[in-house]
Structure 1
Amino acid sequence: MVHAFIMVKTAAGRSEDVLASVRELDRVSEAHVVAGDFDIVVEADAEEVYDVLHAASSDVSGLDGVADTKTYMAID
C-alpha cells in the first residue's frame, strides 16, 4: 500500500469548492483546508505508486479551481 500527501494550491476563493470535489475522489482518504503555503492537504492511498501519481496528476490537478499540486510519498 502506498500512502501520499498531495499539497494543493487553489485559485482565490476556491478552497471550499475544491475540497468538496477532492473528498469525492476514490483514492482520497482525508482532505483538509489548511493555512500556509498550500490551501488543501490531501491524503491518498493506493496499491501502486503509479496509482497515487495518477490521482495527483490527473484526478486532483484536473479539478476546476486547482492551480498547482505537489505530491509527497510517505516512506514509513
Structure 2
Amino acid sequence: MVHAFVLIQTDVGRSTDVRQALSEIDGVAEAKEVTGPYDVVAQLEAGSMDDLGRLVLARVQQVEGITRTLTCPVVEA
C-alpha cells in the first residue's frame, strides 16, 4: 500500500467545497482544511505508485476549485 499527502491550493472561498468533494473519492482516506500557503491537505492510499498517480491525475486534480497540488509520497525508512 502506498500513502501520500497532497497539499492543495483552491480558488478563494472554495476550500470547504473541495474538502467535501475529496472526501467522497475512493482512495482519499482523509481531507482537512488548513491555513497557510495551502488550503486543504488530503491523505491518499493506493495499491501502487502507478495507482497513486492515476488517483491524483484522474480524480483529485479534476475536483472543481483546485488550482494547484503538491503530492508528497510517504517513505518508510
Give the shorter-chain TM-score range. Answer: over 0.9
Deviations 1:38-64 (A, max 9, x none): 100000001110111111122111111
- Could you list the runs of 5+ residues in structure 2 that have no partner in the other structure? none
For 1:69, the aligned partner's letter is T
Instruction: Report the identity percentage.
Output: 34
Alignment of 1:37-76 (within 5 A): 37-76=37-76
Q: For 1:53 and 1:6, how far apart are their aligned partners in 2? A: 11
Offset at residue 37 of structure 1 (A): 1.1
TM-score by length of 2: 0.94
Q: For 1:35 and 1:43, how far apart are their aligned partners in 2? A: 16
Offset at residue 2 of structure 1 (A): 0.2
How many residue pairs get matched? 76
Q: For 1:36 and 1:53, how far apart are their aligned partners in 2? A: 25
Q: For 2:58 and 2:9, how far apart are their aligned partners in 1? A: 15
TM-score by length of 1: 0.95
Q: For 2:34 and 2:55, how far apart are their aligned partners in 1? A: 20
- Could you list the runs of 5+ residues in structure 1 that have no partner in the other structure? none
